[in-house]
């Protein structure tokens, strides 16, 4: 099962960071370099503290989650998720799950309701990571396609920021 490893260029040693039965996939290093968000094979999202080696679950398993994307202040994670239409049908609607890694609170938000977003794992024509959100530098607003929303989910004027 794939897990996370650290390799320092120029050194002959590798350090295994996780040893999970459910594996570690699609890692995303926090902007400060202190944490790594990843998903296991069940679709749960976890965060590894590189200082302590502690792994904690921040989001329960979801169907086909997208790669986690960190906010610049390292407090929030955003990822694309598919919300099933019904319990019998796994097809559904693309949404953006935002998790506050400090409090554990999370919310699922509609994504660009006026257009069809790409499914998880598909790169779109806009800049930024596939299926990830583009965050403002202050972490007070995010873009999930063609609309900018604040933390409360209300539309806001796009801030001056760069995609990452």
Domain membership of residue 133 (yes or no) is yes
This prediction has a pTM of 0.67
Domain membership of residue 96 (yes or no) is yes
Q: Which H helix or E strand runs over 86? A: strand 76-86
Domain membership of residue 129 (yes or no) is yes
Give per-residue pLDDT as tens, 117-161. Answer: 555 544 443 333 444 455 555 555 555 554 555 656 666 554 433
Average model confidence (pLDDT) across the chain: 78
3-state DSSP call for residue 134? strand
Domain membership of residue 127 (yes or no) is yes
Domain membership of residue 161 (yes or no) is no
Report the C-alpha gap between 87 and 98 in whole angstroms.
23
What residue numbers bound the domain in which 63 lies?
5-150
CATH number at residue 36: 2.130.10.10
Give per-residue pLDDT as tens, 12-48. Answer: 889 999 999 999 999 999 999 999 999 999 999 999 9
Question: Among 83, 92, 78, which residue's Cα sits nearest to residue 128?
Answer: 78
Q: How many domains does the chain have?
A: 1
Report the C-alpha gap between 147 and 21 in whole angstroms.
39
Domain membership of residue 156 (yes or no) is no
Domain membership of residue 110 (yes or no) is yes
Domain membership of residue 157 (yes or no) is no
Query: CB-based burial of residue 125 (10 Å sphere; 0-12 exposed, 13-18 middle, 19+ buried)?
Result: exposed
């Amino acid at each position: 099962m794939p897990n996370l490893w650290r390799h320092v260029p120029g050194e002959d040693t590798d350090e295994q960071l996780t040893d999970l039965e459910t594996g570690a996939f699609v890692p995303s290093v926090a902007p400060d370099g202190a944490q790594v968000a990843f998903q296991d094979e069940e679709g749960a999202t976890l965060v590894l503290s590189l200082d302590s080696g502690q792994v904690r679950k921040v989001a329960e398993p979801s169907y086909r989650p997208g790669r986690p994307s960190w906010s610049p202040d390292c407090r929030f994670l955003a990822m694309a998720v598919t919300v099933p239409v019904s319990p019998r049908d796994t097809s559904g609607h693309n949404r953006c799950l935002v998790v506050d890694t400090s409090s554990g609170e999370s919310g699922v938000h509609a994504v660009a309701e006026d257009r069809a977003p790409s499914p998880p794992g598909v790169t779109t024509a806009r800049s930024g990571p596939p299926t990830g959100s583009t965050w403002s530098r202050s972490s007070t607003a995010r873009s999930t396609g063609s609309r900018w929303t604040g933390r409360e989910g209300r539309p806001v004027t796009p801030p001056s920021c760069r995609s990452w």
